[in-house]
């Protein structure tokens, strides 16, 4: 359940990713700082071999808005 009033606009972010471990933490911080709250961040991994999946799983464990596909 969101703590934002019902009239506040929210966004869903979908990010395709392949070997983006070096960029995703910065993107996560950027999404958190947006003036329109991000209700869900879906990261679609395309066979990464650099730890992208591990990073997103770690973020998802700490933040229920993060989803790894």
Q: Tell me if 38 sits within 8 A of 67, measured CB to CB.
A: no
What is residue 10's predicted lDDT score, i.e. its pLDDT? 83
Q: 9-66 pLDDT, tens per residue?
A: 789 999 999 999 999 999 999 999 988 889 999 999 999 999 999 999 999 999 999 9
Is the pLDDT at 5 greater than 70? The verdict is no
Residue 2 has pLDDT above 60, yes or no: no
Q: Which of 30, 21, 31, 24 is nearest to 52 (CA)?
A: 21
Number of other CB atoms surrounding residue 55 within 10 Å: 20
- The pTM for the full model equals 0.83
- Counts for the chain of helices (H) and strands (E), in that order: 2, 3
């Amino acid at each position: 359940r969101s703590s934002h009033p019902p009239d506040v606009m929210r966004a869903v972010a979908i990010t395709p990713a392949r070997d983006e471990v070096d960029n995703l933490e910065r993107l996560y911080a950027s999404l958190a700082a947006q003036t329109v709250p991000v209700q869900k961040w879906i990261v679609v991994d395309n066979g990464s071999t650099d730890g992208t999946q591990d990073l997103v799983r770690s973020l998802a464990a700490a933040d229920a808005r993060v989803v790894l596909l």
